[in-house]
Structure formats: C-alpha cells, structure tokens
Chain A
Amino acid sequence: MNATVGFAFVILGLSASVLGAGGGAYALVTGQPKLLRTVRQWAWLVVAAAVGAFAVMEVALFQRDYSLSYVQKVGSSHTPPLFNVAALWSSLEGSILLWALVLGGYLAAVLVKFRRRAADPLVGWALVVMLAVTAFFYALMTGPANPFTTADVPVGFDGPGPNPLLQNHILMAFHPPMLYLGYVGFTVPFAFALAALITGRLGEGWLLETRRWTVAAWGFLTFGIVLGAWWSYEVLGWGGYWAWDAVENASLLPWLTGTAFIHSVIVQERRGMLRVWNLSLLCATFSLTILGTFLTRSGVVESVHAFTEGAVGPWLLTFFGLVAATSIGLIAWRGDALRSTGAIDNPVSREASFLVNNLLFGALAFVILLGTVFPLIAETWNGSRLTIGPPYFNSMGRPLGLALLFLMAAAPLLPWRKASTELLSTRLFWPAVAGVGAMAIALVVGARGTAAVAAFGLGAFAGASALRQVVLACRRSGWRGVVGRTNGGMIVHLGVVLVAVAMAASSSYRSDRTFSMKVGETVNFEGHQLTYVEPGADINERRVRTFAQIQLDGGKTYAPAMTSFRQSGQVVPTPSVRTGLTEDVFLVLDQVPSRADDSIRLRVVIRPLVGWLWVGGGVMALGTALALVPSSRRPIKAGPEAEAAGPTDADAEPPSEPPSAREPELVGD
C-alpha cells in the first residue's frame, strides 16, 4: 500500500516535471503565454508529489512497514521517534527523497515569490530549469534510487535501524537537512543564471532577484557544515572535527565557490564587471553540489562516511556532465553580450580585493578538489593506490587560509576604485594594533609556532576590522547598523574569525594520550587529574551502553561509553566531553570494561578553544540571517520596476557605469 502510493507520487513528480519543463520550454520558444501559465500548475504538482512521497515514507517508517525494502534497511521497532524521522535520510534512497522534498520547498518558494510574474520569460525559464532538475531527481527515484521497492517480509522480522553512528546524537536529525537546504538552495540562483543566459537578459537583474536566495543557501550550507563538524566531534570519538574525508570535502567545495560568488557578485552589481566569472562561479557551485553527491553516493571514493553505495554513480556523473556542458555552452554562446563595462582602476581597491578573494577561494577549491579526486586519477592512470590525507590539505590550506584572513582584515576597509596610502594607514591602524596585541598575548600565555601565532594575529586584525565596520554602521544608523548585507556580512566575518582562531588553536595545541587505568586509579595529564571511579552500564531494549565513570579534576564525573546496538550488533564509542571557554577535555574509551576489575583504556584529548568553533558557526549563521534583513536605505523592491532601475545605492559617488550597462528588463510577451 505504502509502496504503491509512494511510487505513484514519484511517477507524478517525474511526469509533472517533464511535462512542465517541456511545455514551458515550448511555450517560451514559440511565445504562447497561455501555455506558459500552465507551468505553474505542473510545478505545484511537483511540489505536492515531493511532499506526498516524503510523507508516505515517514508513515511507512512509523508503521514499521517492512514490505518496503528501504524500511527493512533502516527501520527498527526500537528506534525512538526522533531518530525514526531522521532514519529517512540515513541511507541513499531516502536522502534522494529528502533532496526532492527540499527542492520542492524551494520550488514552492519561487512560485510564491514570483507569482505575479508568470509571464516573464526570465521567471519562465528559471522554472523550466528547476523542473528539469526535479525531473532528474525523480528519475533517480524511479531507477537506481527507488525508495519504494518492495521486499518479502520474513516472519518476525525486525530491522536493524539506521546506522548506529547516525542514531547516536541529536545533531544527526539536523545536520543533513541543513546541508541539503544549502546544497539544493543553489538550484534557485543557478536556474535564474541559466534563464538570464537563455533570455539574453544578462544585466544585473537576475543577480538582484536571486542574491537573497544565494545568501540564504550559503547560510544553510555553512550551518550544515558546522553542525556536521560538531557531530563528528561529539560522536565519532576520534577527538577531531574535520578529517578531510571525501564527504566533508564534497560539502566544502560548493561552499568555497559559493563564498567566492557572494563576494564577487558585489563587484558586478556595483561595477558591472566579472559577468562571465560570476556566471561560471554559480554554475560551478551548482555542478559541485552534484559532483559532491556523486563522489559521496557512488562509493567511488573510499570514505568512512560511505554509509551507502548504489548504482546511482553513472546517473549523477552524467547529470554533472550535462549541467557543466550546458552552462559552459550557454556562457560561450552569450560571450559577446557578457563583456564587462567597468574597469579596475587600481590594484588597491575594493574591487581588486574581491578579485584576490576569488583567486584565493578558487585556489582553495582547486586544491581540495584535486586532493579529493587525485587518488581516482592516479588509480586510473597507472593503477597506483595512493592516499591523500590531512597532511596534504593542511599544508596546502594553511597559507591560503592565512592569506584569506589578511584579506578579510583589509578588504572591507578599502574604498571602491582607489585607496590612498593615507586612508589605508588611518583605517587599518587600530585593527593592526589589535592584531599585534593578540600575538603578544598569545605568546605570553604560552602559544608557540609561527603559523598558529600568525593566525591569532591576523584573526584579531580581521576581527577588529569587522568590528570597526559594525561600530561605524551602528553609529550611522542605530540598530540598523547590524542588518543588511554589508553589516550582516561583517557579523559573518566575526564568526569566521572565531572559527579560524579555534581551528588554529585546537589543531596546533592538541594533546592526546591513551591511559590504561584500573578502578580507583588516578592519572595526571596536561595539568588535569583523571580518576577512574567505576564502570557502569545502561541497558535498554535498543542498545547496551557500557561506560566508565571518570572524575575530572576532582569535580564532575564524566562517562565515556561504548554503545552496542542490539539490532545491528555494531559497537560504537560514545565520547564524553567537558567543553570550556579555554579548552575541551575529550574522553573516549578504546576498550569496553567488561568486568569491574578490568582495566580500561581511556583516551584523553585536550584541545584548546575548540568550543569557539561552534560559537563561530552560530555567529556566522546569525550574521547570514541579519544580512537577509533588508537595510532601510536600500529596500529591495520586488517586481520589474526596481530591476530596471538597478540598485538604488545611496551613493555620494556618481554612478560608476553608463546607464546602458543595465539592459532594460522588459516583461515578456
């Protein structure tokens, strides 16, 4: 029953996507406004199909309907409700289903936002592109990633539940949806970019239409990545948060190109430059979300995250190729119309700093992409198996990261067009003093190592510079000094500084030791006193949790555990962490204490400032949210009038480009 209804929804989604995209494209090419209006109805059907299919799968999971092979794989009568909801996306087919739901959500939002402009070819083509993307994901669900395949149910069957690692922490319920909101969100600006290329309306109109969407998608992706790092830290029990694993890299790649895009797009809005580059970045960002899904879902890269494998590889790779080829083809076709109208006057200016920013983010993305796929290339080349691990990414990423921190300190203070030495020396003075001060304090409290100390200095430099901007903006416009894209962006920068400092400190001054302890024994490590009080066990129908009570510094007791899941028989370590303002003490068991007099192997990892990583992630999310609040001086008007007028900057400068730089954006037919 569930299988039939669910699959019917999938078929409905696929047909509506194909009919909507096909009909819409035909209507736009032949100029039939009546037919074009039907695209909206098809699109709403696609949304309904996504919600329907998702709901059916959740119902099946809660009913423990084992006639579905997917429920057999991830369902279990013992999974608590929250993790039962999350079980939906704990394996391949379900995660495609989640992708379809999120895509449906964005489609619905676009339909509502642009409801009065159904006849506008730009919106029409954007919907066609979005429906083409939904068609692909529904096609995946009818073919290699069908979540509604049926299976025979053995008598008395009970499923294993989701992978133990995925039902060990509440973050698993939030990390994947956040990440998907980010990944999938880039579909909207991508669709509008392609629509702009197809319609030839290559002015800044489409950019202004979609910049909120892009920033929102970026914010979700950022938050999703940070939640993932946090989950990895709290659950995986290796004392770290980022392993340069292929799945992590796959999420970071679109983040890097997306970050480059939301910066360089400002240059285009302001100066009418970098049009080809921005279109390419956006298309690259969307393509990388698909490539990332390919790398992680096809099992092509060995990875501790490869919970799922399937036959989706060729499909995703083909779709990636299609997206890349279409984007490149369209950009080449419109090459002439994309010629920029502005010019960079001086290498020390805001626009030049954005170019350098893009160069650095581009280099970082290149290094990470290369490091991730290089083992595959090498293996195809001459069959050699080689590993590209954290040492590679760290040594390549560190100089780029430091350069980005420096740029983050200086760039927001640079004026457009040209900066005088006088102006720079005035604006950068106190931030630079803060940077040197932070280095001195770091040395006084015992920090050593050039890279780490430089990171603290540059972090304070960038932080003070961002703070200066926020303070000035608040003096100018009161509480509105923290909202709007520019000001919200500065709050995001503050979050980035926290993350950078936390990363530098926690990776440079990490201490890690494993102790063999008997009950009552006390060890000292890095100024901490750890006493093994007693073993214990916490047993329920789902799992057996064997823990060791560890008293830390004569105070509170922590209980790192080994959790054995009955259904799957898997044993996973469950760390216990004392989070503090200056350092975390991370405790994890290497060995289960089976008897009271057995000794345990306790691994202790001390990482300074690591908690600020999550705070920084939160600040980045907050800054993104603030950036989405309209600033009072430049309301973003909906509708074509605002678009034709271009950005209404409260500018003391004369407009930087001739009016002809912005094509008139006519409403269609």
Chain B
Amino acid sequence: MTAGPAAAAAEAPPAGPSRRLSPAVRRVGWVAIVVAALALLVVASIDGGGAETDAERIQRLTESFACPVCNGESVAESNAAAAATIREFIANEVTAGRSDAEIRDRLVDGYTAKVLRNPPADGVATLVWLLPVLAAVGGAAGVATMMGRRQRAGTTVSDADRELVRRAREALGVTSDGTSGPDAVADEDL
C-alpha cells in the first residue's frame, strides 16, 4: 500500500525506449499487460476475502450507522462516547466474522432503528439509485448517437487524402504515427 505515488514516480519510464520496441514485441507485451492486470486484480480480490478488506468493511459499517446521540453524524465521524462504543463493537464483530445483517440486527436491538443511517429503500428512496443510472445511460446514448450522426454527416476522407497528408507530414519530418521527428507537435499539442 506504500506503492502508490512512489511507484507512479519511480516506475514511469523515459518515453524514449518505446520507439525501439518492434511491433511484434509490443503486441506480446500488451497481451502480457492485460493478463497480468487481470490476474493481479483477481489476487487482490481473492486474497482479501472478497472485494473488501476488514478495515474497509469496518469503515463502511461505521459510516452506515448513525451516532445515536448526535445530530447527523455517523458512528465513524462522531467523537461521542456512544459512537466510540459502537465503533469498538463493530470492529469486534467484523473480526469475529459476523455478517452485515447480523451486526445490523444486533445494533438495532440495542439502540433501536435510529442507528440506521441509510434507511431501507422504499418507494421514493429507490429513485436516488435509479436516477443516476438512467441519467448515465441517457448521457452515454446521447454521446454515442452524436458520434454516430457526426460520422455520417462529417466530411468523408478518402484514402488518397490520407496518403497526401502522410506525404506532406513526412516531408516535415513527422511520421504518420507521430512518434518520431519533432514528436508530432500537432498531436501532442492542443
């Protein structure tokens, strides 16, 4: 977990060597990258006993219960003694391997339903989950149709045009993939 920014900084290679990799090597490299990424994610999820670490689970649970003696604060945030007691209780229960439902029931038994922070979804409350999904789908559909429409409506570029541009750019010392010469000023810059 100490890897984050340090890795981002230390591991970023100079951009140069990429130019010397042959396409075949790179293709194999990409397959390796994708396989490794998936494998690492699987390890991350399995080894942690699911998608969540114990600490994450404790955090999520303490955030999902309201401090019974405060106004609007969660058990995770509050410094009230009652909240501290519930935090300890939840930590112990999680370590003991109890399920979310068991912990919730025990807390509701002890403190009544006012400890529930996210009330069970009833008619209106389901909207808060549903609307973003609908909006996202709608937005994505909008962007997709926009791209589709533009593509048809836009000027068509023939292969001859592309060839012309390629030659012109080569003459300027810019290759068509923009990775050599003065490093594809046109692409890299805004």
Which residues on A are within 8 Å of B, measured CB to CB? 237-238, 240, 243, 266, 269-270, 302-304, 343-347, 352, 355-356, 359, 362-363, 366-367, 370-371, 374, 377-378, 381-382, 384, 386-392, 394, 396, 415-416, 420, 422-423, 425-427, 429-454, 456-457, 459-460, 463-464, 467-469, 471-473, 475-476, 485-486, 494, 497-498, 501-502, 504-505, 507-514, 573, 582, 588, 590-591, 601, 603, 608-609, 612, 615-616, 649-653
Q: Are A434 and B1 in contact (CB under 8 A)?
A: no
Q: Are B189 and A439 in contact (CB under 8 A)?
A: no
- Shortest distance in angstroms between A589's beta carbon and chain B's nearest beta carbon? 8
Q: Is B158 an interface residue (CB 8 A)?
A: no
Q: Are B140 and A601 in contact (CB under 8 A)?
A: no
Partner among A347, A362, A497, A502 whose Cβ is within 8 Å of the Cβ of B147 = A347
Q: A240-B76, A370-B128, A457-B40 are in contact. Are A387 and B8 (CB under 8 A)?
A: no
Q: Are A436 and B128 in contact (CB under 8 A)?
A: no
Q: Are A453 and B41 in contact (CB under 8 A)?
A: yes
Q: Is B113 an interface residue (CB 8 A)?
A: no
Q: Report the nearest B residue to A588, measured CB to CB.
A: B79
* Between-chain CB contacts (< 8 Å), 27 pairs: A240-B77, A302-B72, A363-B139, A374-B127, A382-B124, A388-B118, A389-B117, A390-B63, A391-B117, A422-B177, A429-B33, A433-B29, A434-B11, A435-B37, A437-B7, A439-B37, A441-B7, A452-B44, A457-B40, A459-B5, A460-B7, A463-B5, A507-B56, A509-B53, A582-B2, A651-B189, A652-B184
Q: A344-B151, A367-B132, A441-B7 are in contact. Are A391 and B118 (CB under 8 A)?
A: yes
Q: Are B59 and A507 in contact (CB under 8 A)?
A: yes
- Shortest distance in angstroms between B55's beta carbon and chain A's nearest beta carbon? 5
Q: Are B143 and A355 in contact (CB under 8 A)?
A: yes
Q: Are A422 and B23 in contact (CB under 8 A)?
A: yes
Q: Are A344 and B154 in contact (CB under 8 A)?
A: yes
List, in ascending order, chain A residues with CB within 8 A of B151's CB: 343-346
Q: Are B8 and A497 in contact (CB under 8 A)?
A: yes
Q: Are A601 and B84 in contact (CB under 8 A)?
A: yes
Partner among B33, B60, B76, B176 whose Cβ is within 8 Å of the Cβ of A436 = B33
Q: Is the interface of B mostly helix, strand, loop or mixed?
A: helix
Partner among A374, A460, A509 whose Cβ is within 8 Å of the Cβ of B55 = A509
Q: Are A513 and B48 in contact (CB under 8 A)?
A: no
Q: Is B30 an interface residue (CB 8 A)?
A: yes
Q: Are B4 and A448 in contact (CB under 8 A)?
A: no
- Shortest distance in angstroms between B29's beta carbon and chain A's nearest beta carbon? 6
List, in ascending order, chain A residues with CB within 8 A of B64's CB: 389, 391
Q: Report the nearest A residue to B70, measured CB to CB.
A: A304
List, in ascending order, chain A residues with CB within 8 A of B37's CB: 435-436, 439, 457
Q: A391-B64, A426-B179 are in contact. Are A463 and B9 (CB under 8 A)?
A: yes
Please give 20 more A-B residue pairs, beta carbons under 8 A apart, in addition to A426-B26, A464-B13: A238-B78, A347-B147, A387-B118, A390-B63, A429-B26, A434-B8, A435-B33, A436-B37, A442-B7, A449-B44, A454-B41, A459-B5, A460-B11, A504-B4, A507-B59, A509-B56, A511-B55, A512-B58, A512-B91, A601-B84
List, in ascending order, chain A residues with CB within 8 A of B172's CB: 652
Partner among A391, A416, A510, A612 whose Cβ is within 8 Å of the Cβ of B187 = A416
List, in ascending order, chain B residues with CB within 8 A of A512's CB: 58-59, 62, 76, 87, 91
Q: Are B189 and A486 in contact (CB under 8 A)?
A: yes
List, in ascending order, chain A residues with CB within 8 A of B51's CB: 449-451
* Most A-side CB within 10 Å, residue of B3, B12, B77, B177: B3
List, in ascending order, chain A residues with CB within 8 A of B176's CB: 420
Partner among B11, B182, B188 whose Cβ is within 8 Å of the Cβ of A438 = B11
List, in ascending order, chain B residues with CB within 8 A of A464's CB: 8, 11-13
- Shortest distance in angstroms between A362's beta carbon and chain B's nearest beta carbon? 6
* Most A-side CB within 10 Å, residue of B8, B30, B176, B190: B8
- Shortest distance in angstroms between A510's beta carbon and chain B's nearest beta carbon? 6
A313 to B128, CA, bound (A): 25
Q: Are B1 and A509 in contact (CB under 8 A)?
A: yes
A436 to B38, CA, bound (A): 9
Q: Is B99 an interface residue (CB 8 A)?
A: no
List, in ascending order, chain B residues with CB within 8 A of A438's CB: 3-4, 7-8, 11
- Shortest distance in angstroms between B47's beta carbon and chain A's nearest beta carbon? 5
A266 to B81, CA, bound (A): 52
- Shortest distance in angstroms between B13's beta carbon and chain A's nearest beta carbon? 5
Q: Are A505 and B1 in contact (CB under 8 A)?
A: yes
Q: Are A429 and B14 in contact (CB under 8 A)?
A: no
- Shortest distance in angstroms between A22's beta carbon and chain B's nearest beta carbon? 40
Q: Are A449 and B132 in contact (CB under 8 A)?
A: no
Nearest 8 A-B pairs (CB), nearest first?
A448-B48, A463-B8, A343-B154, A501-B4, A441-B3, A415-B187, A453-B44, A464-B12
Q: Are A238 and B79 in contact (CB under 8 A)?
A: yes
List, in ascending order, chain B residues with CB within 8 A of A649's CB: 189-190
- Shortest distance in angstroms between B49's beta carbon and chain A's nearest beta carbon? 8
List, in ascending order, chain B residues with CB within 8 A of A473's CB: 188
Q: Are B190 and A270 in contact (CB under 8 A)?
A: yes
List, in ascending order, chain B residues with CB within 8 A of A501's CB: 4-5, 8
A266 to B74, CA, bound (A): 42
Q: A434-B11, A513-B91 are in contact. Are A363 and B72 (CB under 8 A)?
A: no
Q: Is B17 an interface residue (CB 8 A)?
A: yes
Q: Report the nearest A residue to B1, measured CB to CB.
A: A447
Q: Is B69 an interface residue (CB 8 A)?
A: no
Q: Are A359 and B143 in contact (CB under 8 A)?
A: yes
Q: Is B101 an interface residue (CB 8 A)?
A: no
Partner among A303, A423, A429, A435 whose Cβ is within 8 Å of the Cβ of B29 = A429
A459 to B59, CA, bound (A): 23
